[in-house]
Chain A
Amino acid sequence: MTTPLIEVREIGKRYGGVTALEGVSTTVHAGEVTCVLGDNGAGKSTFIKILSGAHQHTDGELLVDGEPTSFANPRAALNAGIATVYQDLAVVGLMPVWRNFFLGSELTKGRGPFRRLDVERMKRVTLDEMASMGIQLRDVDQPIGTLSGGERQCVAIARAAYFGARVLILDEPTAALGVKQSGVVLRNVAAARERGLGVVLITHNPHHAYPVGDRFLLLRRGRSMGEYAKADITLEELTSMMSGGAEMEALTHELQRPGAPVVAPASDEA
């Protein structure tokens, strides 16, 4: 197999005496989706903060293109082609789609005092990039606030890819969304994968992770509960591990009405 874009080996993070993350290993390949699953407080946030350069790991190794690395800050991670798309997406609602797409990195033409925006080119690139994500925008001049949440996220992903991202970290993109919107987001994830990006999808919902994921990293209380390729795990096993497996079974027993038939451990909502 080719060198993974990112490989983490037994990575960990300690804040003074507190261990936030310990012994986590996984890989992110181009054109693949690595899902990081875990409940609240499982260490997902710490894990992405290490990948995105917001924090530095204290144990283990972080390899980018096979080279051991430690990002000093988010800009360094970005320069290495690792972009994070946060929930708020960093878009300005009242500005047109194309202005948002290039905000902060505008294309210009002309020199000196006559340096001006290359509006035509920016509009064309925006249309093309959105099309390659599977969204045909009729009007790149419409305020981005008029797009749906899924479409806005698509702009954020396309923008990251256009500006050289090779790995995309999506932090709980479906957390606050309904079923239909989540579908759009997962389609965006698939589109990013098809473009050859490596995707790290953070979620606590195995039903969202399983259909798009190629690899699943399960975290609980800062520790890895294992890392599986899709072929090695079923949705049921994933769900069971996520919801605490044996623990959940015990809870089910505990909550049962005396005399009622035993039910299977509750699967996730969705």
Chain B
Amino acid sequence: MTDASLTSSTSPVRRLLARPTTGAWVAAVVVLVFFSVQTDTFMTAAGAGVWLESASRFGIMAVAVALLMIGGEFDLSAGVMTGFTALWVGVCTTQYGLNVWVAVLLSLVVALAVGALNGVLVVRTGLPSFIITLGTFFVLQGVDLAVTKALTGEVAIQGMTKVPYYDSVQPIFGGSVEIGGGTFYVSILWWLAFTALASWVLLRTRAGNWIFAVGGDLPAARAVGVPIIKTKIGLFMLTAGAGWLVGMISLFRTSTVQANTGVGQEFIYIICAVVGGCLMTGGYGSAVGASLGALIYGMTFMGINAAQWDNNWLRTFLGAMLLGAVLINLWVRKQAEATR
């Protein structure tokens, strides 16, 4: 027996199929072509502006959630965090006259603190993050509704545009340009930049290596000296920070925020990440894939409207796509882990 015979060889086709993003690329192209052919408005500048805006908000969250999922955890409070941070800024500025810049930064600090709390509770108790963040999810949801109603007497923030210096913050999160009759929001740039940064961190830094390791095999990661606690808490803070960014984007684009904003969207982020090739069990996935998952979501959301179908089919489509993606991912994982 020669030593060379011990090493395995992988065919290029199999390697392509085993990449986490391959399925998402294919699905994105299929959806794009389908709605471009099926509807007149989809492939116009106006149409593209709509689905890119939607994809950008979900994309930022999906990327953060994907990193967390690769690290082996979930965050069910990710959706409500987008409403919580926006409401925080809305209440602080319209009710207490706080400077809008200070309020924006303060809400970031609060979001990171909640993220850190999620992380500390998970690593200290060893309980599933599903349970811990389900708790924070409901706590924040209740706070959002109760506090907003108690302080404003309504279930939405009004009068944001009259807040001093509102116009100095607005372009950063809610700005837009008109190109060819379509409105393109600055959130698209945030989305692309965040995806690029997350991808770089994941694949080219020590932190990225640790994220894969803590999600892939926690005891092994601990044995070789990976800082497990720091990595996990950092991931929860990243997700919360992304929630803040999307909260600001929503608030400054529409100049209002509903008390129930973001509730229920945490599952859509998870679906986007899984469609993008993340394993529910951790240790495998990509930031670009999660972004593609969000793009598919945005395109489908807009496409179903443009085709004038019943909007409720969107949920059915998402569910079917999740199941399909999970089955494909399962197969990919078996390929990747196959011991010869």
Contacts and interface: CB of A to CB of B under 8 A. Distances in A.
B213 A117 contact: no
A228 B178 CA distance: 86
Nearest to A93: B337
A137 B7 CA distance: 6
B213 A184 contact: no
Contact of A117 (B4, B205, B223, B337): B205
Interface of A: 86, 88-95, 99, 102-106, 108, 115-117, 119, 134-139, 142-143, 145-151, 184
Contacts of A106: 206, 209
Interface in B203-229: 204-206, 208-210, 212-213, 216-217, 219-221, 223-226
Interface string B323-340: 000000000010011111
Contacts of A103: 209, 213, 220-221, 224, 226
Given A117-B209, A143-B336, A104 B225 contact: yes
A95 B226 contact: no
Contact of A138 (B9, B213, B225, B339): B9
Of A86, A117, A143, the most chain B CB neighbours within 10 A belong to: A143
Contact of B8 (A93, A117, A146): A146
Contacts of B6: 135, 148, 150-151, 184
A222 to B, nearest CB: 28
B8 A147 contact: yes
A145 B7 contact: no
Interface residues of B, number: 33
B3 interface: yes
B244 interface: no
Given A104-B224, A146-B339, A117 B217 contact: no
Contacts of B9: 138-139
Q: Is the interface of A mostly helix, strand, loop or mixed?
A: loop
Contacts of A91: 217, 220
Contact of B226 (A104, A117, A145, A184): A104
A46 to B, nearest CB: 21
Given A94-B283, A143-B337, A117 B7 contact: no
Nearest to A183: B1
B10 interface: yes
Nearest to A159: B224
A106 B227 CA distance: 13
Nearest to A103: B224
Contacts of A117: 204-206, 208-209
Nearest to A137: B7
A99 to B, nearest CB: 6
A149 B221 CA distance: 19
Of B219, B220, B338, the most chain A CB neighbours within 10 A belong to: B220
Given A90-B219, A119-B204, A143-B336, 12 more contacts: A86-B223, A95-B212, A103-B213, A104-B213, A104-B225, A106-B209, A135-B7, A136-B3, A139-B9, A147-B7, A148-B339, A151-B6
Nearest to B214: A92
Given A92-B217, A103-B213, A145 B336 contact: yes
Nearest to A152: B339
Nearest to A118: B204
B205 A92 contact: no
B209 A145 contact: no
Given A90-B220, A92-B221, A149-B339, A142 B10 contact: yes
25 contacts: A92-B212, A92-B220, A92-B221, A94-B283, A94-B284, A95-B209, A95-B212, A103-B220, A104-B213, A104-B221, A104-B226, A105-B225, A106-B206, A116-B205, A117-B205, A117-B206, A135-B3, A135-B7, A138-B7, A139-B7, A139-B10, A146-B336, A146-B337, A147-B7, A149-B339
Contacts of A146: 8, 10, 336-340
* CB-based closest 7 A-B pairs: A90-B223, A104-B224, A104-B225, A92-B216, A145-B337, A92-B217, A90-B220
Given A135-B3, A146-B8, A92 B213 contact: yes
B8 A115 contact: no
Nearest to B284: A94
Nearest to A154: B6
A105 B8 CA distance: 26
Interface in B165-196: none
A246 B209 CA distance: 55
A145 B220 contact: no
Contacts of B8: 138, 142, 146-147
A90 B224 contact: yes
B209 A93 contact: no
A218 B333 CA distance: 44
Contacts of B220: 88-92, 103
Nearest to B200: A116
A99 B216 CA distance: 12
A17 to B, nearest CB: 33
